[in-house]
Structure 1
Amino acid sequence: MRRDAPLPKRIAALVGEMRGAGMTPAAIARESGISRQTIWRIEAGEISRPSYETIQRLERLREKLGK
Structure 2
Amino acid sequence: MQTRTIGIIMTVIGIIMLLYNSFNYVTTEKVVDLGPIQVNKEVNHPLEWSPIIGVILAVIGVVLILRKNK
TM-score tier, shorter chain, comes to 0.3 to 0.5
Higher helix share: 1
Max radius of gyration: which structure? 2
Higher strand share: 2
Provide the TM-score with structure 1 as the length reference: 0.33
Provide the TM-score with structure 2 as the length reference: 0.32
